[in-house]
Amino acid sequence: DYKGRIIATTQDGQTAGVDVSLQVLERQFVVNGGVPSFTLVNGSTASPQNLAFALNNQQSVNWSASSSASWMRVSPLSGVTPGSITLQPDATVGPLSSGKYSANITLASPGIASKTVTSDLTLTAPQLSTNTTSLVFGGAKGRDFSPQLLSIGLNTNVDWPWSMTGAPAWLQ
């Protein structure tokens, strides 16, 4: 920081003073557009998202990027500002169970303070669902035994094991 005082003087000896200061900001990384976060069904694949950044003085410098979590893919790992990296979580690394996770993404350049931002990943368990809650056979007169459709699905495009139990012996 630089400080000083400017004094104006009239011919008859009057004075008025003004304090002045200059604050020079350190060069630092600035993230543009926010930090990506991810929410997905466990086992599914996340779409990559970009993290854009620059220096506050708009200079071009070499930078490198890293992640604190092995499950967060970062690409590219280096470049020149202004820059952009792609973040993509890989829930198969670990493997991660359903829950909330955080990865610290660090941007670094020689002579500039590193910038660390946090990207969150929320994994939810796949949900099993059916197209109906009951099947009624026999109809109004107890004679309609035509087949009925029971659809079973998951809210994910990933293969997820399931089994069916408890069907009565008369149901095929």
Helices and strands, number each (H, E), in the chain: 0, 13
Spans of the chain below 70 pLDDT: 158, 172
pTM over 0.75: no
Q: For position 164, what pLDDT does the model report?
A: 81
Q: What is the pLDDT at residue 24?
A: 80
Q: What is the pLDDT at residue 50?
A: 97
Distance CA 131, CA 151 (A): 5
Q: What is the pLDDT of residues 49-86, one digit of tens each?
A: 999 999 999 999 999 999 999 999 999 999 999 999 99
Give the pLDDT confidence score for residue 57 in this predicted structure.
Answer: 92
Instruction: State residue 172's pLDDT score.
Output: 66
Burial (CB count <10 Å: 0-12, 13-18, 19+), residue 28 = middle
User: Could you give the angle at the alpha carbon of 118 between the alpha carbons of 116 and 120, nearest 5°?
Assistant: 165
pLDDT at 9: 95
